Amino acid sequence: IVKKDVPRTDRQHEYFEKDDSEHLVWLHDILVTYAVFHQEVGYVQGMNDVLAIILFVIDNEADAYWCLNSYLNLIQSDFMAKGMVEKIGALKRLLNFIEPDLMQHLEKIDAGDLIFCHRWLLLGFKREFVWDDSVRLFEI
């Protein structure tokens, strides 16, 4: 999956746009290394999106690996079904508390499981915003 995801990662951004970009090589190598050393998690689609921002900001392969490693240690359960179920459950409780009318409407239209929020939560809205905003949001 890494070989499929890396060539599609943020190619519109100058940091990754060239086919022979060393940044794409770094992206690939870091993801494979992470998967080898964390076989209980492995590689999951979306990790490339998280790493792309880290690489862009840090611009160093070794440091980017360790940042990804530390970040994924904090959120790795989100990449597995159980962790995401817990996170969506927390969002559901929060939404029910803050906006009960919206939650009721979502349940009425059969969207109460909030599964459409999965990508938002997993990737920190990276695919929903333009690059610069995604980088800023990730820093928060």
Domain extents in the chain: 2-139
pTM of the model: 0.82
Q: Give the span between the Cα atoms of 57 and 59, in whole angstroms.
A: 6
Residue-wise pLDDT for 131-140, tens only, equals: 999 999 887 6
- 74 has pLDDT over 70: yes
pLDDT of residue 140: 60
- Tokens, residue 87: 């996170």
Q: Give the span between the Cα atoms of 131 and 136, in whole angstroms.
A: 9
Residue-wise pLDDT for 87-139, tens only, equals: 899 999 999 999 999 999 999 999 999 989 988 888 888 889 999 999 998 87
